[in-house]
Homo-oligomer: A and B are copies of this chain.
Amino acid sequence: MVCRSAPMGAILYMLQDHDDKPAHECGVFGIVATDADVARLTFFGLYALQHRGQESAGIAVANGRTIRSHKAMGLVSQVFNEENLRPLTGHLAIGHTRYSTTGSSRLENAQPFVVESVLGPLAVGHNGNLTNAATLRQELLTRGVGLTGSSDSEVITQMLAGGEGRTWEEKFKVFMVRAQGAYCLTVLTRDALFAVRDPLGLHPMCLGRLGERGWVVASESCALGTIGASFEREIEPGEILMITTEGPRTIAHMPAHKPAECLFEYIYFARPDSLLHGKALHAVRVAQGRELAREAPAEADVVIPVPDSATPAAIGYAQASGLPYSEGLIKNRYIGRTFIQPDDQLRQVGIALKFNALTDNLAGKRVVMIDDSIVRGNTSGPIVRLLREAGASEVHVRVSSPPIRHPCFLGVDMATYPELIAHRLTIPQICEHLGADSLAYLSLEGLINASRHGDDTFCRGCFTGKYPVDIELVNKEIFELR
């Protein structure tokens, strides 16, 4: 089947902000170490987690008595300097990098949240999304707590600060009874670091060892290597791990009867050099590409990725198909946020600020273009057109994940129902929309097999609409309507 070319009105202007990808939802980090500059180590840990959130960054440090913190809008490297790092002395620290959707992008939402509570000071960093946040929020208001922002993370912080329980251990257990949804927390008290992962284990968190000097927790293992820590194990779904200078101790273990890890950590989120269940995600994505080649072969001359995230899958596809791997698109390395908009003439000529095509590698060739996912479908069409203009005789789009037909209610900023192209259109319709010669997605089975063979502990919500938890109706309606 040959799809027709993309409609002329297609928006060809692409900046990083408009990546057609689901969005990360924060990175967390925590450390307990004696004889070490814990704030500096946290800085470098956050540096390695920068891909999980670029809006704001913060570090809080405890010294046995008080908690001091610094946070601001911007990249980790912009937020911190020697001057503001210097006062952050102690032997326990947590750090946070935040991603945020437009609108709630304000300093008061930057994390960690630091509050004084009846048990002393408390600092909280959170990655995830509570599905019953509205209920919990209303409970806090009814209990007489004034809330300053609109984030789940403030709700969590006030629940811990004021929830039932005479000790932190009790408070964390009570919290886990009440909270539903996705949460990886690093929490600092005066003298302990708590790492908490939701019972479903939706997002990753792992434990590392800093030689004899201490212990580290992080959203991804890549942050361990960066500071010279060794990977110890993953924090278990439902685990409350408490780390003091005495070392780590599991104080509760409340897993769901079936975990439900987010498949998008395997497809796109986590850095390719991070490990999940003992395998580097680069290798997982190469395997996804291999599986895709088996499921959806193409008669073609060359395999190219949409850089950078689809590169491993394209390498896998090339290996399994026997087709040569090449680069067909060059990404502008210095692309950054700009508020300068192209004018109409620029839009018409179809400027491509983000990618340029490599004519020499494409001209006269039948091209397999590998992408890892398509969400709204608004950038793939222009890329297909770019390849054709560079002389590609055919463009076969292969996607190393299934069609995304449902939003995520568990902490990933995916899109709403009306925005999701695979919710609105059939695969042939999408192919036509993109102007591709053929289009195929990796099957859900293929994805799961490539990611972790035969495993049944993944959340498939965005592909199937069946979520591992009840979603509060209010949220769902909002997503359907807007």
A interface, CB within 8 angstroms of B: 36-37, 40-41, 43-44, 47-48, 50-51, 54, 75-78, 80-82, 85, 107, 113-118, 122, 141-148, 150, 157-158, 160-163, 211, 213, 222, 225-228, 271-273, 279-280, 282-283, 286, 308, 311-312, 315, 318-319, 324-327, 330, 332-343, 345-346, 348-353, 356-361
For A273, give its contact among B282, B311, B358 (CB under 8 Å): B358
Which of these, B143, B282, B327, contacts A282 with CB under 8 Å?
A: B327
Chain B residues in 8 Å Cβ range of A325: 315, 318, 325
Q: Is the interface of A mostly helix, strand, loop or mixed?
A: mixed
- Taken together as a complex, chains A and B put the C-alpha atoms of A141 and B271 apart, in Å, by 41
On whether A334 and B75 interact (CB within 8 A), knowing A85-B340, A146-B162, A349-B228, the answer reads yes
Contact B145 A338 (CB under 8 A): no
Distance (Å) between the CB of A210 and the closest chain B CB? 9
A273–B146 CB distance below 8 A: no
Residues of B within 8 A of A348 (CB): 228
B340 and A82 form a contact (CB under 8 A)? yes
Give chain B residues whose Cβ lies under 8 Å from the Cβ of A358. 272-273, 280, 282-283
Q: A144 contacts which of B107, B113, B162 (Cβ < 8 Å)? A: B162
* Minimal Cβ-Cβ distance residue in B for A360: B283
Candidate in A80, A142, A330, A341 with the most chain B CB atoms within 10 angstroms: A330
Residues of B within 8 A of A228 (CB): 345-346, 348-351
B330–A146 contact, CB under 8 A?
no
Known contacts A144-B145, A333-B51, A351-B228; A43/B340 CB under 8 A: yes
Q: How far is the CB of A435 from chain B (nearest CB, A)?
A: 19
* Min CB–CB distance A318 → chain B (angstroms): 8
Please state if A282 and B330 are interface contacts (CB–CB under 8 Å). yes
Q: Which of B114, B162, B360 interacts with A143 by CB under 8 Å?
A: B162
**Bound-complex Cα distance A324 to B36 (A):** 43
Query: Which residues in B have their C-beta under 8 angstroms from that of A351?
Result: 44, 226-228
The interface residues of chain B lying within 8 Å CB-to-CB of A158 are 144-146
When C-beta atoms are compared, the residue in chain B nearest to A280 turns out to be B360
A146 neighbours in B (Cβ, 8 Å) = 115-117, 122, 145, 157-158, 160-162
Cα(A50)–Cα(B353), bound, Å:
12
In the complex the two chains form, what is the Cα distance from A340 to B85 in whole Å? 9
Partner of A107, one of B51, B107, B160: B107
Task: Specify which chain B residues have a CB less than 8 angstroms from the CB of A222 in the assembled complex.
Answer: 330, 356
Please name the 10 residue pairs, one residue from A and one from B, whose CB atoms are nearest each other, closest first: A144-B162, A228-B349, A146-B161, A115-B146, A283-B360, A50-B334, A273-B356, A77-B338, A273-B330, A118-B141
Q: Is the CB of A357 within 8 A of B273?
A: yes
User: With contacts A272-B358, A319-B324 known, what are 16 further pairs, Cβ within 8 A?
Assistant: A43-B340, A47-B334, A47-B335, A51-B334, A76-B338, A116-B147, A144-B145, A144-B161, A146-B161, A226-B353, A228-B350, A271-B356, A282-B327, A282-B360, A283-B361, A286-B361
Chain B residue contacts of A360, Cβ below 8 A: 279-280, 282-283
Task: Indicate if the CB atoms of B148 and A145 lie closer than 8 Å.
Answer: no
A44 in contact with B346 given A50-B332, A50-B334, A330-B272 (CB within 8 Å): yes
Complexed CA–CA distance, A336 and B76 (Å): 9
Closest B residue, CB atoms, query A230: B349
16 cross-chain CB contacts under 8 A:
A37-B343, A44-B342, A44-B353, A48-B332, A50-B334, A77-B338, A116-B147, A118-B141, A148-B148, A225-B356, A226-B351, A226-B352, A228-B345, A273-B330, A283-B360, A315-B325
